[in-house]
Every structure is written in C-alpha cells, then in structure tokens.
Amino acid sequence: MSEITRLRFDELSVSEDIKNAVKDMGFETASPIQSEAIPYLLEGRDVIGQAQTGTGKTAAFGIPMIDKVIAFDKYVQGLVLCPTRELAVQVTEEIKKLSKYKKGVWVTTVFGGDSIERQIKSLKAGANIVVGTPGRVIDLIERRALKLENVKMAVLDEADEMLDMGFREDIESILQETNEDRQTVFFSATMSKPIMALTSRYQNNPKLVKVVKNEITNANIEQLYFDVKGKAKLEVMTRLMDLHAVKLALVFCNQKKKVDEVVEELVLRGYAAEGLHGDLRQAQRTNVMAKFRSGVVTILVATDVAARGIDVSDVDAVFNYDIPLDEEYYVHRIGRTGRAGKSGKAFTLVVGSERNRLRDIMNYTKVKIDKGVIPSFSDVVGVKKGMFIERLQNTIQAGDLELFGDVYASLEHSGFTAEQIIAALVKMNMGVAKNEFADENLDGEAERNARRNERGGSGDRFGSRDAGRGGNRESGNRFGNREGGSSTGRFDRGNSRDDRSGGRSNDRQPRSFEDRGPRTDKAGKPYRQDANMVRMFVNIGFDEKISPANIVGAFAGESGIPGNTLGQINIFDKYSFVDVPKEYATTVLNRMEGASIKGKRVNVEIAKPSN
C-alpha cells in the first residue's frame, strides 16, 4: 500500500467553525483515516472505512456529519450506531467538541441501562444528531419517539463488533427506517463477509478506505510480561507502579468482582484508585471518569466492556492484571497508552497456564513480548529514596524554612539523634513498609523450575503447549458446551417445543413457568449446568422468530456484558433459556428489565432449578 498523504485540517473543505474546534483540540494534521475518508464523505459518497481503534475514526465521520447538518432544524439528520453505551458516550463527546462553534447542532446519546423517558424528553427537545446502541434505537423507533426518515448520514461505528454481538437484524431494521437517499458509512476493524453483505445491500457504490497499521500494536509502547505467583499479583503491580513512577494507570480485570477486589486492596495500600464496570450507573461512571481525567484518581481499574469508552491521552501505563480472554482485547487495552506520539508501558501479569494465552497474543500481534524482571522490595525502596532526596533538595533550595527550625531542636532535646530524626522523616514520607512478600522471590517461573528440579523433571519456557488444552485453545470452543461433557452446542435448538425447562415432554399443551419439569440436554439426559453459570428464563421464543443472535445482541447491548461470555442458549416456541456467568447475573436482571428483543418487551428471570 502506498504512503497516504496526510492533509492539514486547514486544507480541508470544511467550515471555519470546524477548523476552529479542531484547533482548540490541538490538532493540525489529519490522521491517515481522516485524510482518506473526509474528502469522499464531503462529496456525499458512501464509504467503507477499515481502520483499527484509536486511528481517529470518530472525527473522520463526525466532521462531515456536523457540516451537513442544517443548524437549528430540530429533526434527526445524522445517526451513529455503536455496539456499546461506552463507545456511544465517547463518540457523543467527540462530536460535541467538534461542533463547539457551530450553533444549533444538538447531539443526543441513547442506550440501554439509562432512563428511556429522559432520552425521549431529550429527543423531543430537538436533536439533529443521535448516537446510540441498536437495541435502544429500536425501542425508541417503536415508541415513535425517534423518526429517521430525514437522516442524511447514517454511520455504523465498529460494525464488525455489532455483528459479533448479534445486532444484524436490528441494524437492518434501523436502516430500513431511513430514507434511500441517505449517505451510508461503515467503519470496521475487519472486512468480513457479513460486513460486505451489508454494504452491498445498503450502500451505493461505496469507496473503500483502508488504513492498516504496519503493526497492530503501537511501536511507542514498551510491552513486558511478568511471570508471577498468583497471590503476588497486586504486590508485583504496585512495585512496578512505584519503580516507574506511574502517574496515571489503567488496570484491566476480566470480572467486575475482581475489579472491586483490586480497588479495595489498592486503596488500603494508599493509592488513589477507583473501579469501572457494568454495575455502575451512568452518573457513577461519569463521576469516576471525571476524577480520572483530572488526576484526582490516578489508577482506574476496569473491565473490557466498561472501558470501551475510555479516551484519556496521558495514561502512562496499562496493566493487564488478568490476561485478556481475547487477543483483540489486548490490542484495545494497551492502545490506551502511548497516544499522540508519547511513549507508554504495557505490563501483563501472567500466572501458570495463562502463558498459553500469552503465546496466542504474541502470534496475533506479531510482536514478541519480553519477560520483565520483577522489582525487589529493595529496588522500590531505592527508587523512593532517590525521589525523596530530590524533593528534599528542592524544598531546601526554595527556602522559607525559619518557621520550622525549632522542630529539630525540640526532637534533639528529647534525646533523638540526627540520624534517627532523618530516618523517621524519610520513612513517614516514603510510605514504604515491609509485608509478607518483601523478602520473597515472586517469580512464578523460578518457583516452577525449583519444583521441577526437585522432581528431576524439565520443561520449556512456556511449559507444555498442549497441557490442559487437549490440542485446542485453553478457553475452549467459544460456541461449544463449556463443561466439555456434552456435544450440545451453545446455539443448539431445544428438542421440546413446549417444555420451558429445556427438557423433553410429551405434553403438547402450554405449561406454566412454575410447572416446568427438569431440564434435559439434546440426548434427553439431565442438563448439567456449569457451576459458574446462572440459567435465565426469557419469555420469548421461536414463535416470535427469535434467533440466538437476537438474544446475544440484546443481552450484550442492554447489559453491557461481552456477548462471548454467554453460555448455552436453548430456544423453544414461547420461551428460551440462557446461561449467564454468575458475576453478570444481577447486571442482566437489572438492565434487561423493560428491555425488548425484536420489538417485543421481554421478561427475564432466574430459571427454576431442575429437581
């Protein structure tokens, strides 16, 4: 691919209002995707944009959309669909910044998990650009609160992610509500067959704009992994933070429960930390992010889904406290440091068999991640001593110490030596105290090697490639039974059309939810539920033409949980069963209250256990 000529924003045929807003944001030169896409979009062409996250896609479609809006006309002229509420909020904030000087442009965000009445009120007040998730957009259309017949530009942001979450039917329904003369724009990190099928149906002679980074991960990011003992993760992470004097850090965990645990431990150690996950209300999320952006909170601990909308430019380091479940999540995570030409650090904590997933990540990113050396307790103390001496020197040089001179004389009079006084002050200011890990070797590989030597065994650097995996990826087949004991797939259709428990039944009459029998699998054997899953009942099924993709899309879109974490799905005529990870069960029950699937309001509740 030839080198892309990057345009200056003052060279683009956009309004002075846009140019002034971009200047305020500190940008002079457009990114490659902006340089390629904006001219075509300004001409009114349909565009397919292929680019990774963090390449400036929002401005690429946001600038032309804002300039096409007829100011002060209170009808929807621009529509942006996003896979998650976090991304929808981020896109909205970016568009508001870009439209700062263009009066009469109103942007509204709509998504599940927030008051639909408040969103309806916002739409009625007048919104000419709407950014939202497919599920909530469908709900608002059905309530006649959102009308799209005058949309000039429709954008699908991260289209591949929306299709993965099962939103295809919702997307098609939404696009069919818009007029045929609209400009249609697809932005996606990948160009899969389902994406191309949508473009051929809903776009008119689109221009393909493809901007692919030479490397999936930023070359400005130093990537290291640390092979640690499981119980020492937090200790190793805080040592790294102290050693590298990290001012602003993002810490990623795979589960919300772990987020809360890590935040609690960090706070107990004196760090300014807050958590971000799907159980937080939007007001709480906004408050946490405001504190993180302002530096009041210096460590933000988050799950992958909750972090989708995080866009903070000064993050010094990203810590993978838990190794991500998907290789692409790794790219998204570490892409939040090393931005705008700055350097960043990405540290991954690896325990035991997680080394297999680390190998998968290196194969995916085509970047070798070196093993880092875990700092010793004395290393951290040495760094803190140096920082303390520097601060002390600066304070002495600043002068104005007369008011405090008598403190030393008083302590000396009490019998303390100069050495004792100085050592006590250093200890108080450094905040370093020995714990159970201070004199221990925390390297997990060293511990394993010691055990092998005791047994007289050996192993390669990462251990056996197939240990515990049976030749497949450690996490198992995404769509298979998570117990590995049944051939029943995640999307297997239930055998009985009337048994709401998921089991066989010869009774063809409808049965009440309370009277449902024991659940069985495809072979008629009692259904074995994963202990980490909660089985949920949904009062909608094949009679409403429901597919597993519809269920995945609704649960993921409304609840904000990763669609690929859902377990087995059984669909019957009038109802369905869905296995949800325990840590997300409360979130799903709360967020799905009043939600709709394919336009039908549904009831979701925990299924009655089998006898």
**Angle between helical axes of 57-68 and 16-24 (0-180°, round to 10):** 150
Whether 526 and 551 map to the same domain: the answer is: yes
Q: How far is CA 101 from CA 15, 20, 39, 98, 126, in A?
A: 10, 7, 21, 8, 18
What residues contact 452, with CB distance under 8 A and at least 6 apart?
Answer: 458, 459
The 3-state DSSP class for residue 601 equals strand
Instruction: For the chain, give the number of residues.
Output: 611
Domain-terminating residue out of 210, 238, 261? 210
First to last CA, the chain: 62
| Pairwise CA distance, residues 75 & 72, whole Å | 9
- Residues 495-514 have pLDDT tens digits of 433 333 333 333 333 333 33
Whether 274 and 245 map to the same domain: the answer is: yes
Q: Please give the average per-residue pLDDT across 519-548, as a whole number.
A: 70
Residue 154's domain is classified under what CATH number?
3.40.50.300
Question: Averaging pLDDT over each range in 288-297, 373-382, 439-448, which range is the top one?
Answer: 288-297
486 residue type, one letter: S
**Sequential DSSP letters for 404-446:** GHHHHHHHHHTT--HHHHHHHHHHHHHT----TTTTS--BHHH
Is residue 160 scored above 80 in pLDDT? Answer: yes
Which segments within 120-220 are labelled E, that is strand?
A: 129-132, 153-157, 183-188, 207-210
Which residue matches tokens 């958590």? 275
| 352 confidence band (pLDDT: 50, 70, 90) | confident
Q: Higher pLDDT residue, 590 or 444?
A: 590
In percent, the amount of the chain with pLDDT more than 90 equals 30
Cα 308 to chain centroid distance, Å, stands at 4
Domain-terminating residue out of 146, 178, 210? 210
Count of domains for the chain: 4
Q: How far is CA 273 from CA 142, 267, 298, 428, 534, in A?
A: 42, 6, 6, 21, 30
Whether 106 and 187 map to the same domain: the answer is: yes
Whether 34 and 129 map to the same domain: the answer is: yes
Q: Please give the average per-residue pLDDT across 472-495, as a whole number.
A: 36
Whether 193 and 292 map to the same domain: the answer is: no
Q: Is residue 436 part of a domain?
A: no
Task: Give the model's pLDDT for residue 495.
Answer: 40
| 610 confidence band (pLDDT: 50, 70, 90) | low
Residue 391 tokens read as: 């601060």
Whether 314 and 230 map to the same domain: the answer is: yes
| Pairwise CA distance, residues 227 & 225, whole Å | 7
Which residue matches tokens 């032309």? 64
Domain-terminating residue out of 210, 239, 273? 210
| Pairwise CA distance, residues 135 & 149, whole Å | 18
- Residues 213-234 have pLDDT tens digits of 444 556 788 999 999 887 889 9
Q: Is residue 345 part of a domain?
A: yes
Residue 541's domain is classified under what CATH number?
3.30.70.330
Whether 369 and 386 map to the same domain: the answer is: no
Task: Give the model's pLDDT for residue 517.
Answer: 40
| 328 confidence band (pLDDT: 50, 70, 90) | confident
C-alpha Rg value of the chain to the nearest Å: 28
Task: Give the model's pLDDT for residue 404.
Answer: 77
Please name which of 64, 58, 4 lies closest in space to residue 40, comparing C-alpha atoms: 64
- Residues 38-80 have pLDDT tens digits of 999 999 999 999 876 667 789 999 999 999 999 999 899 999 9
Whether 389 and 290 map to the same domain: the answer is: no
| Pairwise CA distance, residues 242 & 239, whole Å | 5
- Residues 387-439 have pLDDT tens digits of 777 777 887 788 777 777 778 788 888 888 888 887 887 777 665 565 666 55
| Pairwise CA distance, residues 605 & 588, whole Å | 9
Residue 353 tokens read as: 């068999």
Beta bridge partners of 601: 596
Q: Is residue 462 part of a domain?
A: no
Q: Is residue 446 part of a domain?
A: no
Whether 71 and 200 map to the same domain: the answer is: yes
Is residue 608 scored above 80 in pLDDT? Answer: no
Task: Give the model's pLDDT for residue 512.
Answer: 35
Is residue 333 scored above 60 in pLDDT? Answer: yes
Please name which of 232, 189, 227 lies closest in space to residue 335, comparing C-alpha atoms: 189
Whether 168 and 236 map to the same domain: the answer is: no
| Phi, psi for residue 169 in degrees, rounded to 5 | -65, -40
**Angle between helical axes of 116-125 and 134-142 (0-180°, round to 10):** 70
Lowest average pLDDT, out of 71-75, 258-262, 281-285, 348-352, goes to: 281-285
DSSP 3-state helix, strand, coil percentages of the chain (rounded to 5)?
A: 40, 15, 45
Mean pLDDT, rounded, of the chain: 79
Is residue 31 scored above 60 in pLDDT? Answer: yes
Q: Higher pLDDT residue, 490 or 24?
A: 24
Cα 269 to chain centroid distance, Å, stands at 26
Whether 524 and 390 map to the same domain: the answer is: no
Q: Higher pLDDT residue, 576 or 460?
A: 576
| Pairwise CA distance, residues 209 & 46, whole Å | 11
Is residue 6 scored above 90 in pLDDT? Answer: no
Whether 363 and 239 map to the same domain: the answer is: yes
Residue 522 tokens read as: 């495809």
Q: Is residue 483 part of a domain?
A: no
Q: Please give the average per-residue pLDDT across 474-495, as a whole number.
A: 37
What domain range is 409 assigned to? Answer: 378-430
Question: Averaging pLDDT over each range in 131-145, 285-299, 501-515, 526-540, which range is the top one?
Answer: 131-145
| Pairwise CA distance, residues 302 & 281, whole Å | 14
